[in-house]
A and B are shown apart, each in its own frame.
Chain A
Amino acid sequence: EPEVTQTPSHQVTQMGQEVILRCVPISNHLYFYWYRQILGQKVEFLVSFYNNEISEKSEIFDDQFSVERPDGSNFTLKIRSTKLEDSAMYFCASKGQGASSNTEAFFGQGTRLTVV
């Protein structure tokens, strides 16, 4: 069964450093998303990406965040200068297009980011 793959599973970084979280969406999917879950809190939408551009972003997704689809398979989330409050589980998701049976998003297993 196709799945969304995220690497690494856990990343520890120092405050102020740049991090790139990587995702390989399901191959024929066209819509890509990042969500995050701070420990003990709800899963929150960060950004959606379609046709090589951001289609929607939340208030959380400020200038420190960026997304990119550098090639035909990867989808990345970059945090330019990490803060302690960026520590969270980050989930990538992808979605196909077309009939209703394709309108659910599939989530990866997450990358746990710890900023120290």
Chain B
Amino acid sequence: AQSVTQPDIHITVSEGASLELRCNYSYGATPYLFWYVQSPGQGLQLLLKYFSGDTLVQGIKGFEAEFKRSQSSFNLRKPSVHWSDAAEYFCAVGPYSGGSNYKLTFGKGTLLTVNP
């Protein structure tokens, strides 16, 4: 069965500092990998996704993530965090299919707090 582990429940960083959020997945086939962000009272916004090709993917708001197949990881990074990045971040894995079977499995999320 597919699963996603986000080992850090809560991370606090200072504004301007670099950020890395960890994500490990278990999946039996070629996965689609996603990072979503959820601000308080808001829905899920897609930050970036990996389907194939270059293992370093760029997303919105200055985020990037690197897919490492050997480590089953898809860590999210940002070189300089802004106060507006404070939110909850979810890693998700889904089937490599363009069809109706878009059953995403989410991690439990990492809550990011940004100190001024």
B83 at the interface (CB under 8 A from A): no
B90 in contact with A50 (CB, 8 Å): no
Interface mask (B8-48 → A, CB under 8 Å = 1, otherwise 0): 00000000000000000000000010101000001111100
A41 in contact with B108 (CB, 8 Å): yes
A75 at the interface (CB under 8 A from B): no
CA distance A108 to B36 in the complex (A): 12
CA distance A108 to B45 in the complex (A): 9
A106 at the interface (CB under 8 A from B): yes
A55 at the interface (CB under 8 A from B): yes
Task: Determine the chain B residues whose CB is within 8 A of the CB of A109 once the complex forms.
Answer: 42-43
A69 at the interface (CB under 8 A from B): no
- The dominant DSSP class at the B interface is loop
- The dominant DSSP class at the A interface is strand
Total B residues in contact with A, Cβ cutoff 8 Å: 26
CA distance A109 to B43 in the complex (A): 4
B106 in contact with A31 (CB, 8 Å): no
Which of the candidate stretches B62-70, B71-79, B94-102 sits at the interface with the other chain? B94-102
A102 in contact with B49 (CB, 8 Å): no
With both beta carbons as reference points, the residue of chain B lying nearest to A46 in the complex is identified as: B103
With both beta carbons as reference points, the residue of chain B lying nearest to A105 in the complex is identified as: B102
Nearest-neighbour CB distance to chain B for A53, whole angstroms, equals 10
Total A residues in contact with B, Cβ cutoff 8 Å: 33
B58 at the interface (CB under 8 A from A): no
Task: Determine the chain B residues whose CB is within 8 A of the CB of A66 once the complex forms.
Answer: none
Known: A91-B44, A104-B46, A104-B49. A43 touches B90 (CB 8 A): yes
A55 in contact with B100 (CB, 8 Å): yes
Please give the residue numbers on chain A whose beta carbons come within 8 Å of chain B beta carbons, in ascending order: 4, 6, 31, 33, 35, 41-45, 48-51, 55-56, 58, 91, 93, 95, 97-100, 102-110
